[in-house]
Structure 1
Amino acid sequence: MANIVDPLVVGRVIGDVFDSLSDDESVNITVTYSNRQVFNSQELLPSSVTIKPRVQVQGGCADMRSFFTLLMIDPDVPGPSDPYLREHLHWIVTDIPGTTDATFGKSFFLCNLIPLRDDMRDRGRELVSYDIPKPSIGIHRYVFVVFKQRRRLQTLIPPSSRDNFSTRNFSEENNLGQPVAALFFNAQRQTAPRRRF
């Protein structure tokens, strides 16, 4: 039997950001920046993640009364060796409805989360706008975390600061429980190309 290593454990996302994924959901997250799919622990250039990604959640959406919350955070601010501003909040989208898409078969459900516009409330509510990743020191992890909501969060108040955000506290305060899916990529400061004369 092959030994399967979870990249969320190896990358210390489980432990630093949240304790575990929910056992009662089989949900997957897909994140795409400009038609480039993101995989766990992949390194991306900051210049390639300057616009909101397309995010999809597969599974767990059979009920039209299901709603999801998406967070994007950086647990390595200002640098991974001393992340005293842990965590930096990059994005919150709430009230993302569970919808079905027949093109994927009878038992496969697709929740289209993004792209979002202000007039597209049926795709979720952007509670905190997308903040471009800007790593300054070392290699930073950028983590997407999906929670299945127990109810609509229409009265949710955005955090007062993006720094010192806590995924665990946010989950507890809003009765979200453990996340149902997560994905992360790495990025480090991008230097300008040198000119050759």
Structure 2
Amino acid sequence: MAASIDPLVVGRVIGDVVDMYVPSVTMNVYFGSKHVTNGCDIKPSIASNPPRVTISGHPHQLYTLVMTDPDAPSPSEPSMREWVHWIVTDIPGGTGPTQGNLSCFFLII
């Protein structure tokens, strides 16, 4: 049986954008009814609306969620890397980013 390799390693997100890490909480992301996992392709029609995100953890601990594009504007020409779309801070564990503070917002058109 072949070993499974994390799609974030294959895609060079881990090792290029962030260092290797061990998750301390679980995060779930949904676009509509579609559960998004590492390496999952999403059609633009699904991603036109904000995702629903839940973060496990203790309610008295605060988390930060960062949405970046590590290979903007394209994987073959990552000239603007790393592009930050938004950052949400102070998210209580067991909730989602709607309970946090939107720190910045950048829009790519």
TM-score norm. by structure 1 comes to: 0.50
Aligned to 1:86: 81
Aligned to 2:4: 4
Aligned to 2:69: 74
SS in 1 for 2:14: helix
> Comparing both chains, which one has the higher relative contact order based on Cα–Cα distances under 8 Å and sequence gaps of 6 or more?
1
SS in 1 for 2:48: coil
Partners of 2:43 and 2:81 in 1: CA distance:
21
Identity of aligned residues (%): 44
Count the aligned residue pairs: 109
Aligned to 1:18: 18
- Structure 2: which amino acid aligns with 1:28? T
Aligned to 1:112: 95
> Aligned pair in 2 of structure 1 residues 75, 41: CA closer, same or farther (>3 Å)?
same
1:133-172 to 2 correspondences below 5 Å = none
Poorly superposed stretches of 4+, deviation over 6 Å: none
> Aligned pair in 2 of structure 1 residues 17, 29: CA closer, same or farther (>3 Å)?
same
> Aligned pair in 2 of structure 1 residues 129, 90: CA closer, same or farther (>3 Å)?
same
SS in 1 for 2:15: helix
- Structure 2: which amino acid aligns with 1:9? V
Partners of 1:39 and 1:55 in 2: CA distance:
12
- Structure 1 contact 33–52 (Cα < 8 Å) conserved: yes
SS in 1 for 2:18: coil
1:129 aligns with 2:105: yes
> How big is each residue's C-alpha offset from its partner over 1:108-153, in whole Å with a ceiling of 9 and x where there is no partner?
xxx2214x2xxxxxx1011123747x6xxxxxxxxxxxxxxxxxxx
- Structure 1 contact 52–130 (Cα < 8 Å) conserved: no
> Aligned pair in 2 of structure 1 residues 29, 39: CA closer, same or farther (>3 Å)?
same
Partners of 2:34 and 2:106 in 1: CA distance:
18
TM-score norm. by structure 2 comes to: 0.84
> How big is each residue's C-alpha offset from its partner over 1:148-170, in whole Å with a ceiling of 9 and x where there is no partner?
xxxxxxxxxxxxxxxxxxxxxxx
1:5, CA displacement in angstroms? 1.4
Over the aligned positions, Cα root-mean-square deviation in angstroms equals 2.1
> Aligned pair in 2 of structure 1 residues 19, 40: CA closer, same or farther (>3 Å)?
same
1:65, CA displacement in angstroms? 2.8
Partners of 2:83 and 2:49 in 1: CA distance:
18
- Structure 1: which amino acid aligns with 2:12? R
**Unmatched segments (≥5 aa) in structure 2:** none
